[in-house]
Structure 1
Amino acid sequence: MSGNTFGNLFKVVTYGESHGPGLGGVIDGCPAGIELNEDIIQLELDRRKPGSGIAGTARKEADKVKILSGVFEGRTTGTSIGFHIENTDQRSRDYSKIMNVYRPGHADLSYDAKYGFRDYRGGGRSSGRETVSRVAAGAVAQELLRLEGITCNTYTVRIGGIDAVVKDPGSAYERLFFSPDADVLEKWEKRIMEVRSAGDTLGGVVEVCIKGVPAGLGEPVFDKLDARLAYALMSVGAVKGVEIGSGCSSADATGSENNDFINEKGFLSNNAGGILGGISSGQDIVVRAYVKPIPSISKEQQTVDSEGHSTEIKIGGRHDICAIPRIVPVLKAMAMLTIADHLLLQRRMK
């Protein structure tokens, strides 16, 4: 078990580190005949690439994808799809002063405990840069799902404790922070600037809404669709919690409040988030991911070094103030990969 593979039938293996030559992956199980080229993948990659927005890192990466295999004359061949994205703006020297110090909130200590050593340059595989491969693979899954009429809209519903109203989610990708609410942008910008000037960072909440999923996707008991979606989103490093439908608030509701009543026209509400018994109901699938603040802060923090000696650390370098909005395309990608995998699993059963 290496932890670098996702999926059963629509399977993705990724590789690469934050400060290595590049990142990429291999997609196995994608059906033949799907329209695909580098521009299609690049559209999604451009939405997560670093170097844009007031909450983003100063690191500049073009994130240009190169398809290595599995595509001929603009269509998938049914064989493995290989892709690669070159790193062009890594500055490993930024990390040389903290190579023997564990950064609070990062995976430094746990990676040392597991492997006996670690890549201190930006965290290696634990870096948020690892997610670029997920977005590329998710773009391929999206093209498969598009043929089935399945689409995904992902948007930010909270930054730094300030909630958005989901007024216009369809236009979220045209706004700063992928906001479904134009009126909240000024508040979010102000909060981010306040936190940036204090040398600190912020977290937030992202909602994923998947439309057009037919009823019947998902496996009973251990491979429930909601369980696999939670697994997929929780595999993203900054995500610390996932809700399906009404989520945590359902614990405070009564059964009569939480049940989604049904009449001849269909469901009257969607507290279940489009999944019943771990199987899609045909309604919109609604999932929320809770994203922690970026752990690299310029405030002084207490920690220890690799010898166990107490010390203090103040992290420099180039880092995001908030994982949002760059994490939004990543969460969309993981949702698309999950649905694509379950779609193929359901087809195999018939």
Structure 2
Amino acid sequence: MNQKSAILYMIIPCYNEEEIFQDSSTKLKNKLLDLMKQNKISGKSKICFINDGSRDATWQMIVDAHNSDPIFSGICLSHNEGHQNAVMAGLMTAKKYCDVAISMDADLQDDIDAIDQMLDKYYEGCNIVYGVRSSRETDSFFKRVTAEGYYKFLEFMGAHIVYNHSDFRLMDTKALEAMSQFKEVNLFLRGIVPMIGLKHDYVYYARKERLAGESKYPLRKMISFAWQGITSLSTKPIKFIANLGLGISIVSACVFFWALYRYFMGETILGWTSLMISFWFLGGLILFSIGIIGEYVGKIYLEVKHRPRYIISEFLDDNKEQL
């Protein structure tokens, strides 16, 4: 492909990002203008901010940016749909207007200079380029250990993901069309994109500290997101329950015969403590197992209703008028 013909759309999900919007939008604009000067991307390339139901002035700032410079595009979701749905909304909207899309978070902790290498690999023929962190030195010890453990646990549970990759990636129109065929409501893009296959490569970068504002992924949301990934990509937890139940049944049968033997030998002893421990253990195990199964049933319930993953209330983009 002629590099001058490649239209790039930057997909930037935003939720209450008024504190960093001005800085991020300026840096992204300068990066795109520099890429245009190098003839790496078309002059029709855009920075597309997706407002995911922000409660602050984020959307108004997006509107003002678009009105002042057409390089900025904006999508406003009707209400908060979550980070993954916001990214999906941006990608699925942009695929009609671009040759290649790059998604990244609004805080720009992911290195925008890695975009140059991503485009180089795209022009070499890659359909997908993953941005992968070279290290986790900027993370706290707790976050570093839990994140690395999470990736390993996902692999153990049968979910094939890219280690130390978040949602900083390049996808061309072929990859975007392939992803549009995934219709599930419970989105976990880090697991879905590797399922697409196609030709892919990696770009390594050092993640930066957040400039301002609070992280949109505190511990509670990180745990929820981790659980979403596991239950959306793998059925191993249910298989684990079945195997655990089988194992406990075998142990119970052994205990039964042992207790029967003790009874006929006249060696039975009333054991209130052991009985209570057994009841509490088995009761907790049963509730835990029902909870996991209920999680899957809940996801099935959401899928069969076929509700839209997002609703776009407004779309600001000059390119749409040229189609």
Structure with a larger share of its residues in helix: 2
Based on CA coordinates, which of the two structures has the bigger radius of gyration? 2
Range into which the TM-score falls when normalised by the shorter chain: under 0.3
TM-score, L = length of structure 1 = 0.22
